[in-house]
Structure 1
Amino acid sequence: MNRNIAVDGPAGAGKSTVAKQVAKKLGLVYVDTGAMYRAMGIYFLRLGLSSEDEAGITKACSSAEVSIAYENGAQQVYLNGENVTGSLREEAVGNMASCSSVYPAVRRKMTELQQALAAKTAVIMDGRDIGTVVLPDAALKIYLTASVEERARRRYVELQEKGQSCPYEEIKKDIRERDQRDMNRETAPLRQAEDAVLVDATELSIDQVVERIFLLYQERMK
């Protein structure tokens, strides 16, 4: 029986945080697809590639391998055998991941790996095209969003807590631009699947969102 959950939505909506907690609550394996794309972003940056160099990025895909492992209950992301988890949240990495993910070669490589994971075990995946492309037959599809202002505020607080400095307005501008890229790319654009449940988390706590998804899933599994 298909027990997979697909969670899609724009940057900063809380997809990863929510998906991790839902995974623990339901006993599913959490797969952070965004982290996988970010690992590819790290690889392209290390090669000195421009985000506009589609030919170079397409060629580089053939020599990059991204894998996921769990150590002490925490997801670790490996790039060609190296643990790059600590570098995934850097702003430059996020921007490269967002820009390079529009290229068909990058998406094909990631989709194949993600589908293979879901075929082996019940998973919850979050990303931009999980419900529409990667797991179109998922038992439950969620489209999680929040206002641009709220998403920027959360990212600003997150960076402050890590001792990093970035102006709020700059973060908000970056989020708007990433939304535009994700929603208007030719390959697998960000959109809500027709059968996905819309959850607006602008005024909801993480716990409230998790509980709502938990109840929706329990209903679907009856």
Structure 2
Amino acid sequence: MSASFAPPVITIDGPTASGKGTIAHRVASALGWDVLDSGALYRLTALAVRQLGVDADDELAVAQVAAELDVAFQGDLVLLSDVDVAALIRQEEIGNLASKVAAYPPLRHALLERQRAFRRLPGLVADGRDMGTVVFPDAPLKIFLVADVQARAERRCKQLKEKGFSANLPGLLEDMRLRDERDRSRASAPLVAAPDAHIIDSSSLSIDETVNVVLDHWSSLGFRAK
């Protein structure tokens, strides 16, 4: 796809629980665009690996699972082989496994073109950890969303409890620190801001305020929300 004629993309990268997904959906809604939750693809792979009994240490086997995923996104539904698993993939156990297998180069390669296929008119808001650095390096606007790890752990704890899951803040905080370190230090597509990304610290910003900052950056490029 020629960059000159490619549909526009806004990438929103950042560490776990920084609010990427929520912000991406709100920005996409404001613009009338599609949204890509790239983390869901890795979580779906982790869930499928667990359900199929595949050895999570076997990089090629995990990549094969990813290549054969029967996945569909329909509104709030996340369908794996026609079964809604939206709640299952948000469990911390699956999130931690997803973070582990996401470091596998064969898996990242297997999911690369699948992610790029989401790029359609009128535009795409893509959230993840390497959207601006690897998947859509030509995106006209790249956001790197950060927040204090304590604030992120508290958000995740509240989110889990609201969805009926048990959650322990100290445990979540420790898991998040470990996941951050794993994401930043992996050899393949580490978590890092693209050189031309705008860094937004959402620690003390509301969701609406963060969305407005992103939209202001987009408007500054000469574009407007719908």
What's the counterpart of residue 38 of structure 1?
Answer: 43
**1:87 lines up with 2:88 in the alignment:** yes
Please state how far the C-alpha of 1:66 moved relative to its aligned partner: 3.0
- Taking a change above 3 Å as real, the CA distance of residues 198 and 204 of structure 1, as seen in their structure-2 partners, is same
Counterpart-to-counterpart distance in 1, 2:49 and 2:10: 30
Q: 1:4 aligns with which of 5, 9, 12?
A: 9
Contiguous gaps of at least 5 residues in structure 2: none
- Greater alpha carbon shift after TM alignment, 91-100 vs 116-125: 116-125
The answer for the alignment partner of 2:206 in structure 1 is: 205
Between the aligned partners of 1:188 and 1:122, the Cα distance in structure 2 is 24
- Assess, with a 3 A threshold, how the Cα gap between structure 1 residues 41 and 214 changes in structure 2: closer, same or farther: same
Contact 2:11/2:131 (8 A) holds in 1:
yes
TM-score, normalised relative to structure 1: 0.91
C-alpha RMSD over aligned residues:
1.7
Corresponding position: 1:151 with 2:152: yes
Matched, 1:130 2:131: yes
Partner of 1:63: 68
Q: Deviations over 1:85-109 (max 9, x none)?
A: 2312111111111111111121112
Stretches of structure 1 lacking an aligned partner (at least 5 in a row): none
TM superposition shift of 1:120? 5.4
Q: Is the 8 A contact 1:40 1:66 kept in 2?
A: no
* Misfit runs of 4+, over 6 Å: none
8 Å CA contact retained: 1:45, 1:96: no
- Residues 45 and 62, structure 2, Cα contact 8 Å, conserved in 1: no
TM-score calculated relative to the size of structure 2: 0.90
Does structure 2 conserve the Cα–Cα contact (< 8 Å) formed by 1:40 and 1:79?
Answer: no
Task: Give the direction of change, closer, same or farther, for the CA distance of 1:60–1:35 in structure 2 (3 Å limit).
Answer: closer
Q: Which amino acid aligns with 2:118?
A: L
| Identity within the alignment, % | 38
